[in-house]
């Protein structure tokens, strides 16, 4: 599909920590917004059939974009599949994001596929945003901080 992005990373972290980072609202606002954005989770019900709503705000301009979706499949510490839909009518359509986690010898292999990006969003912009977000995710989940 032309409006699909695929990402792959290996993180020095157990799958449980990464899985939690994708479903914990406090963690999500720490790593998911790309550089220059602030995230806010307005609602999150992390169960199959549950929904979430969040927004990213451009720190420089103050412009905010809200989006949300439904959790379609959750396999603890292995897979998350959910929809995404922007509230902006100019960004119509439903995206689907699948995050797959696989434990490997040095941590966890993370694979992300995002299908159905709106035509008006350049795919390369999504890659850049995800790369920034995944770098922040690594900082969050790879840190070993004693209690």
Residue 41 falls inside a structural domain: yes
Residue 107 lies in a domain: yes
CATH of the domain at 64: 3.30.530.20
Asked if residue 104 is part of any domain, the answer here is: yes
**126 domain-assigned:** yes
Rounded Cα distance between 74 and 92, Å, is 25
**18 domain-assigned:** yes
For residue 119, the model assigns a pLDDT of 84
For residue 108, being part of any structural domain is answered with yes
Residue 79: inside a domain: yes
Provide the domain limits for residue 112. 5-142
What's the alpha-carbon Rg for the chain, to the nearest Å?
Answer: 15
Collapsing DSSP states into helix, strand and coil, what is residue 127? Answer: helix
For residue 2, the model assigns a pLDDT of: 64
Q: Is residue 147 part of a domain?
A: no
Mean pLDDT of the chain: 94
Condensed to tens digits (0 to 9), the pLDDT of residues 15-43 reads 999 999 999 999 999 999 999 999 999 99
User: pLDDT at position 83, please?
Assistant: 96
- pLDDT tens figures, 95-126: 999 999 999 999 999 999 999 988 888 889 88
User: How many separate domains does the chain show?
Assistant: 1
pLDDT value at residue 70:
97
Task: Enter the pTM of the model.
Answer: 0.92
In the predicted structure, residue 1 carries a pLDDT above the cut 60: no
Q: Is the pLDDT of residue 92 over 90?
A: no
């Amino acid at each position: 599909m032309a409006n699909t992005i695929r990402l792959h990373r290996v993180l020095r972290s157990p799958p449980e920590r990464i899985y939690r980072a994708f479903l914990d609202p406090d963690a999500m606002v720490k790593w998911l917004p790309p550089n220059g954005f602030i995230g806010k989770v307005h609602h999150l019900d992390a169960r199959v059939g549950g929904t979430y709503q969040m927004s990213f705000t451009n720190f420089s301009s103050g412009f905010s974009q809200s989006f949300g979706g439904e959790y379609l499949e959750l396999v603890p510490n292995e897979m998350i599949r959910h929809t995404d839909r922007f509230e902006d009518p100019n960004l119509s359509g439903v995206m689907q994001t699948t995050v797959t986690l696989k434990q490997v010898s040095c941590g966890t292999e993370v694979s992300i596929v995002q299908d159905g990006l709106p035509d008006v969003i350049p795919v390369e912009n999504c890659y850049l945003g995800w790369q920034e977000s995944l770098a922040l995710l690594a900082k969050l989940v790879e840190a070993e901080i004693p209690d």
